[in-house]
């Protein structure tokens, strides 16, 4: 009896040596995982090994994480299908993933809050095997399966865990023993109402030039900016809007009852700000733009990008100023118009509009807001500092196309106008605008170590595909005639003439001068020489 007891104990010890997954698994399978968060060093910081080697999360250009443990020469049931797959396990409301089936080392987890875009793709798109989930911090994760059946099974399992009803998933037919799932096809029309998302592109920046932005920024087909073609390759048009901009009085001088001159602030709330990675000015009193069909758009924001976002035949210029207009008339309230001017460096040139912004005192990431000391007049954009005439809006040539706002949420239904002639500006102004958006170096208050900023002094989005859109060009010389010759500014002053007379020498009695106009005292020797004495 004792020997049999020992054998039983030995059998139990052998059973304990078998692999056991520490996670209670509701569903498991191979999935790919993609997220812009993998490029966020704050979320996934580099890990330094004792050997000095630094490990970072590796992704492809579409932000899919790469399984660095994948070895294509080793093939087994436990190995991933490719370097983009991880073994995913659904436990409760969490998805844990490892490099292979047997690895209990958790590489990451997703705390699932909701399933989104589950029925957005079709069998013909490249994302037909993918779906997206929101985690508890409202970040988006894209997951892709090997087959459509696996994809649908994951969606139904996650929804079952979250308690979300879905008529396409027959939960009652799920075999709990082997996880088999029967997907019911609904023949009758079904209305799918997507859940609103407040967090798309939250905390966005220009570090990756917009390549990490999502939603409309990624999926839209009419995005801005674009590479503008040579004028002769664009479609000629005679249609132009009416530009009506007026002077925004920030400060004006008045006399008080004592006859003293005082400065009155009309729009003290109008500031120049560093906001969302760019220098911006916001007001509803800049003026308006009226299209040929009578739609009215009010200019409400001025944004500066260094370097430019739009390019001319592949060339990117030093700066771009965008004037963003919003629709006011019925049927146009959801539409926008953007008018852009590109700046080109030229030594010794000063622009009147830029001068009024006091570019020596721009806001920055530390001092995010500055007062505006001079009135703002958009008409001055066409004038140099030595132009003396009143700043009327001048006719100009421009490109136009259907585009979008060039920053999140990248709203389409936007008409974009881009002046086809660059505006000259001095190097000093350009450098100061560029430095204003530079993220400063930070110092650790404990160690004193200086952390050098990795953000470049650039805030532009990469150009987007045209996707078959037409680009038009309006030539104001063709339809309005050539520009009048520029009047040279006159130097203030006048001419004078002097009537010359013969010089007369005369003798004056006494010590005091005679007081005769133009007469002054000379030596006796000079006077006698001239008089011949």
- Lowest mean per-residue pLDDT among 32-46, 87-101, 160-174: 160-174
The pLDDT tens digits of the residues spanning 501-525 come to 556 777 777 777 766 666 778 777 7
* pLDDT at site 265: 60
Does the pLDDT value for residue 337 go beyond 60? yes
Q: Name which of 159, 152, 160 is nearest 184 in CA terms.
A: 152
The pLDDT tens digits of the residues spanning 382-403 come to 998 888 888 899 999 999 999 9
- Alpha carbon of 227 to those of 207, 278, 417, 465: distances in Å? 20, 21, 13, 9
Domain 19-173 has CATH 1.10.3210.10: no
Query: Both tokens of residue 500?
Result: 């010359």
* pLDDT at site 249: 85
Strands 369-371 and 336-345: unpaired
Cα separation, 463 vs 470, in Å, equals 16
The pLDDT tens digits of the residues spanning 18-60 come to 445 556 788 999 999 998 888 877 677 776 655 566 778 889 9
- Alpha carbons within 13 angstroms on the beta-carbon side of residue 474 total 18
3-state secondary structure of 172: helix
CATH class of the domain whose range is 216-480: alpha beta
- Alpha carbons within 13 angstroms on the beta-carbon side of residue 505 total 13
Q: Can you give the residue ranges of every domain in the chain?
A: 19-173, 216-480
């Amino acid at each position: 009896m004792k020997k049999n007891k020992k054998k039983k104990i030995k059998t139990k010890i052998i059973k304990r040596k078998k692999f056991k997954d520490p996670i209670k698994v509701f569903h498991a399978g191979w999935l790919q995982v993609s997220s812009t968060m993998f490029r966020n060093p704050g979320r996934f910081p580099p890990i330094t090994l004792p050997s000095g080697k630094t490990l970072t999360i590796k992704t492809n250009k579409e932000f899919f994480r790469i399984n660095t443990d994948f070895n294509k020469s080793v093939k087994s049931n436990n190995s991933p299908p490719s370097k983009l797959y991880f073994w995913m396990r659904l436990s409760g409301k969490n998805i844990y993933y490892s490099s292979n089936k047997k690895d209990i080392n958790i590489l990451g987890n997703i705390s699932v809050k909701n399933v989104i875009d589950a029925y957005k793709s079709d069998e013909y798109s490249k994302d037909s095997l993918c779906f997206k989930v929101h985690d508890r911090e409202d970040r988006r994760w894209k997951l892709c399966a090997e087959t459509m059946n696996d994809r649908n099974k994951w969606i139904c399992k996650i929804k079952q865990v979250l308690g979300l009803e879905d008529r396409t998933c027959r939960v009652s037919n799920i075999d709990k023993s082997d996880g088999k799932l029967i997907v019911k096809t609904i023949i009758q029309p079904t209305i799918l109402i997507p859940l609103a998302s407040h967090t798309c592109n939250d905390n966005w920046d220009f570090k990756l030039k917009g390549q990490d932005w999502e939603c409309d920024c990624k999926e839209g087909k009419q995005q801005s900016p674009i590479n503008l073609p040579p004028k002769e390759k664009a479609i000629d048009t005679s249609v132009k809007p009416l530009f009506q901009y007026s002077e925004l009085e920030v400060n004006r001088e008045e006399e008080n009852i004592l006859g003293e001159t005082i400065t009155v602030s009309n729009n003290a709330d109008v500031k120049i700000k560093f906001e969302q990675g760019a220098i911006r000015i916001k007001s509803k009193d800049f003026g308006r733009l009226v299209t040929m069909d009578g739609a009215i758009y009010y200019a409400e924001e001025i944004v500066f990008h260094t370097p430019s976002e739009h390019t001319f035949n592949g060339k990117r210029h030093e700066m771009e100023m965008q004037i963003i207009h919003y629709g006011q008339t019925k049927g146009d309230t959801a539409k926008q118009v953007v008018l852009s001017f590109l700046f080109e460096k030229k030594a010794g040139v000063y622009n009147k509009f830029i001068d009024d912004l006091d570019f020596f005192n721009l806001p920055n990431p530390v001092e995010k807001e500055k007062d505006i000391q001079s009135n703002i007049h958009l008409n001055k954009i066409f004038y140099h500092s030595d132009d003396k005439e009143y700043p009327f809006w001048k006719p100009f040539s421009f490109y136009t196309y259907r585009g979008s706002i060039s920053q999140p949420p990248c709203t389409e239904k936007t008409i974009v106008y881009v002046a086809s002639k660059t505006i000259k500006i001095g190097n000093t102004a350009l450098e100061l605008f560029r430095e204003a958006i530079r993220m400063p170096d930070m110092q650790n208050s404990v160690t004193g170590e200086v952390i050098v900023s990795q953000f470049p002094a650039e805030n532009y989005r990469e150009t987007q595909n045209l996707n078959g859109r037409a680009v038009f060009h309006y030539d104001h010389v063709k339809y309005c005639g050539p520009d009048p010759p520029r009047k040279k500014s006159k130097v203030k002053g006048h001419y004078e003439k002097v009537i010359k007379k013969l010089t007369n020498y005369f003798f004056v009695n006494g010590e005091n001068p005679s007081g005769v106009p133009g007469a002054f005292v000379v030596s006796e020797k000079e006077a006698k020489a001239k008089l011949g004495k």
